[in-house]
Amino acid sequence: MIFLALLAPLLTARQGWVGWSVSPYLQFLGGLGPAAAALNTAAVVAGRTGVLHILRQVIAWRGRLRWLALAVLGPLALFAAAVIVARAVEGTWPDLSHFGANTEYPALPLVAFLAASLIFDGFGEEIGWRGFAQPTLAGRHSALGAAIVVSAIQSVA
């Protein structure tokens, strides 16, 4: 509820319902909403044990180094492949001078934008959606069914 209250001014300003300006950086807090909801729900349902279970999953890295490497190196490899394909198709190297530029947060340097996106959008949302909601639903549905339900809810959230 706190996150909704923090995001309400952003929503009202973007819809033109109010005349004041609101910092777009409030949107980063919205990314933490699913994580806060997951931790809150785990605390209500399973108490401290549920919260600790989620937190242990967040910091667990043993046996996951290959997946971490894929998560870090995969996008870089795809980007390199796209640049090479663009070179082959167009005959010139693509202009990368605006790489990472965005209109929503123009004041943030690329590294700060990527870090904020990773922490707030990636980390905050994945704890809630994939770290809590999907495993909880997988206890009642097939893995595919749980993924479809979570995807449907996340697409409208």
Helix (H, G, I), strand (E, B) or coil at 10: helix
Query: What's the confidence (pLDDT) of residue 77?
Result: 97
pTM recorded for the entire structure: 0.74
| Closest among 131, 12, 157, 3 to 60, alpha carbons compared | 131
Q: Are the beta carbons of 36 and 2 closer than 8 angstroms?
A: yes
| Tens digit of pLDDT at every position of the chain (157 positions) | 566 677 788 788 888 898 888 888 888 888 888 899 999 999 999 999 999 999 998 888 788 889 889 988 999 999 999 999 999 999 999 998 888 888 778 888 888 988 888 888 888 888 999 889 999 999 999 999 999 999 998 887 6
* CB within 8 Å of 51: residues ≥ 6 apart: 39, 42, 43
